[in-house]
Amino acid sequence: MKKIEEYVRSIPDFPEPGIIFRDITSILQDADGLHLAIESMENLVKDLDFDLVVGTESRGFIFGVPVAYNLHKPFIPVRKKGKLPCETISQSYDLEYGSATIEMHKDSIKPGQKVVIVDDLIATGGTIEATIKMIESLGGEVVRVVFLMELAGLNGRERLKGYDVASVICYEGK
């Protein structure tokens, strides 16, 4: 049985020189790799007491929905601004070159619900920090944040200090 790291394709000098791009499509394209990725993420939350899974667009959907399905929990999508049809709350955050705004339905989390956030990658942590702010503004409690991959060199954990953060794979660089 291969380890999950063996399914990740590493592409040097993309999108710019000196960066090693960690490509998850090589995991998704292999049935064993996909199964192992979801099972590994599920193992990080299966013994927790929580009510629902939140995933961010779009790769958080890829991994969050099967985790929610397997554990028989609801899944709540966090989308880019303007993509959700009902009343929403929003949170803006800074990117390396600009800013972005994400939204979730205002009625998606009820006060006191315990939430697990699932995403593919933690880099700087900005998207998840914004997601946490929305969850907490609705009265939810984030009990764990789970990533398939972590780029430790970008210090995303620092931004999420005070939260229980877990990753399946951790790369020391950027």
* Given 87, 96, 158, 172, the catalytic residue: 96
Find tokens 């789970």 and name the residue. 146
List the one residue out of 95, 51, 59 whose CA is nearest residue 78. Answer: 59
Enumerate residues 6+ apart whose C-beta is below 8 A from 6: none
Active site residue 96: yes
Question: Residue 57 catalytic?
Answer: no
What lies within 8 Å, CB to CB, of 73 at 6+ separation is: 50, 51, 52, 53, 67, 116
Alpha-carbon span 151 to 171, nearest angstrom: 5
- Among 57, 59, 129, 141, the active-site one is 59
Residues involved in catalysis: 59, 96
